[in-house]
């Protein structure tokens, strides 16, 4: 059986993750195909909708396990995350925080705290390229779901950008034990670029810790956690496809395969982000739909697709977002500096800017040393 997921990833913490129709900045990246063909009867498959996207789970069913109980446990944890971090639920913790004025604390749960911690880590290491307070800039540029030449021809004024940028201030969000507050009015949080990854981690925890399941694959919106082996008793494999616009399941072209490590704990946490479907060439430059929180401007020369492996899917999700919120050369240097396992899909050297790039030969893969080491981790 093969699962196909079109990765609809957020570029800069902008996906309000319950209703995909309201994505502020959409970066549709490469396609992940998760291979587990001709599954045996003792592997159970679950699927559904959450966070404005779909999820797929495959796991080896323990003897005597109650499948309905496992499904109920998964549903509960996903609802917990929505109750905590959905900007589309007026009564969620994050929605309540966003409505508060400065210096007014609000209690947060453990899920919120974990996501805030992961966000803070990547924010600091990426130099602010990942920033969950970036929404004012997205709204100022008014990108919605489509990058247009017309908008680049008539951009926001310098004053409008400066006013929006003044509210992009993650440092003004302060945590004290199990509560947070803001030191500046108007600052809001949006965890969309990390919440799906965290949701994958949470479901993996349910399977592993609550039901002692060791062989599983969990995927939400293209973010993936795997453990153990598939039904064929082989390590899970994730295929990274060429970021060709309009490609389908039957016509996809695989650029690289990431095989779950054998000697490194037999688990893998992956996320992919990209912007190739929401980018334009204007005035001789390639602009992505992603806003750089540090400049307030759309990214020029960003990588069309970035896949990251990390300790958790939440961290992989945040890092994949951060690396697409930088020009490619800077992103590659940043990933190397912090020993990030990253795989970039970029245009081949002989392909002109603005070309159709509709063949696998139009693309090339660039890996960091950490990603090369991960992909080389096989049985000796």
User: Could you read off the pLDDT of 318-341 as tens digits, one per residue?
Assistant: 999 999 999 899 999 999 999 999
Tell me which residue range forms the domain holding 179. Answer: 83-192
Structural domain count of the chain: 1
Residue 22 placed within a domain: no
**Which residue matches tokens 């958790």?**
312
Residue 133 lies in a domain: yes
Question: Can you read off the two tokens belonging to residue 146?
Answer: 């489509």
Could you read off the pLDDT of 81-95 as tens digits, one per residue?
999 999 889 999 999
Q: Domain for residue 90, yes or no?
A: yes
- Which position has the token pair 């030191």? 183
**Within-domain flag for 126:** yes
Residues 297-314, mean pLDDT to the nearest whole number: 90
To the nearest whole number, what is the mean pLDDT of the chain?
82
Could you give the residue ranges of the DSSP H alpha helices within the chain? 67-85, 93-99, 110-125, 135-141, 149-153, 158-165, 192-205, 211, 313-324, 328-337, 369-375
pLDDT band at residue 350, thresholds of 50, 70 and 90?
confident
Instruction: Tell me, yes or no, whether 231 lies in a domain.
Output: no
Alpha-carbon distance 20 to 6, whole Å? 13
Decide if 165 is inside a domain. Answer: yes
For residue 353, tell me if it sits in a domain.
Answer: no
Which tokens belong to 154?
A: 């008539």
Domain with residue 161: its CATH number is 1.10.3980.10
Contact call for residues 197 and 2 (beta carbons, < 8 A): no
pTM (whole model) above 0.75? yes
Q: Is residue 101 a part of any domain in this protein? A: yes
């Amino acid at each position: 059986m093969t699962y196909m997921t079109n990765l609809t990833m957020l570029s800069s913490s902008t996906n309000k993750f319950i209703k995909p129709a309201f994505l502020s900045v959409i970066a549709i990246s490469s396609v992940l195909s998760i291979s587990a063909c001709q599954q045996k009867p003792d592997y159970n498959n679950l699927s559904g909708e959450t966070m404005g996207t779909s999820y797929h789970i495959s796991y080896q069913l323990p003897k005597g396990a109650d499948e309905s109980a496992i499904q109920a446990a998964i549903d509960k944890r996903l609802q917990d995350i929505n109750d905590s971090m959905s900007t589309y639920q007026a009564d969620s913790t994050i929605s309540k925080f966003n409505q508060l004025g400065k210096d007014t604390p609000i209690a947060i749960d453990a899920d919120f705290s974990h996501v805030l911690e992961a966000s803070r880590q990547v924010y600091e290491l990426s130099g602010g390229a990942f920033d969950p307070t970036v929404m004012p800039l997205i709204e100022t540029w008014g990108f919605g779901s489509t990058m247009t030449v017309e908008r680049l021809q008539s951009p926001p004024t310098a004053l409008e950008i400066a006013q929006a940028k003044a509210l992009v201030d993650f440092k003004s969000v302060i945590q004290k034990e199990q509560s947070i507050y803001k030191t500046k009015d108007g600052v809001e949080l949006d965890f969309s670029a990390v919440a799906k990854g965290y949701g994958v981690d949470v479901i993996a925890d349910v399977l592993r810790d609550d039901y002692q399941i060791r062989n599983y694959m969990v995927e939400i919106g293209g973010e993936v956690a795997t453990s153990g082996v598939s039904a064929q008793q082989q390590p899970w494999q994730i295929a990274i496809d060429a970021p060709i616009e309009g490609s389908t399941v039957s016509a996809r072209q695989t650029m690289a395969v990431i095989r779950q490590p054998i000697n490194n704990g037999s688990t893998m946490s992956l996320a992919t982000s990209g912007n190739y479907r929401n980018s334009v060439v204007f005035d001789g430059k390639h602009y992505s739909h992603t806003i750089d929180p540090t400049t307030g401007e759309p990214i020029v020369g960003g990588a069309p697709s970035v896949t990251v492996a990390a300790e958790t899917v939440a961290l992989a999700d945040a890092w994949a977002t951060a690396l697409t919120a930088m020009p490619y050369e800077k992103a590659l240097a940043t990933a190397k500096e912090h020993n990030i396992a990253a795989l970039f899909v970029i245009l081949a050297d002989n392909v002109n800017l603005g070309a159709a790039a509709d063949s696998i030969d139009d693309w090339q893969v660039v890996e960091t040393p950490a990603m090369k080491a991960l992909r080389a981790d096989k049985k000796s």
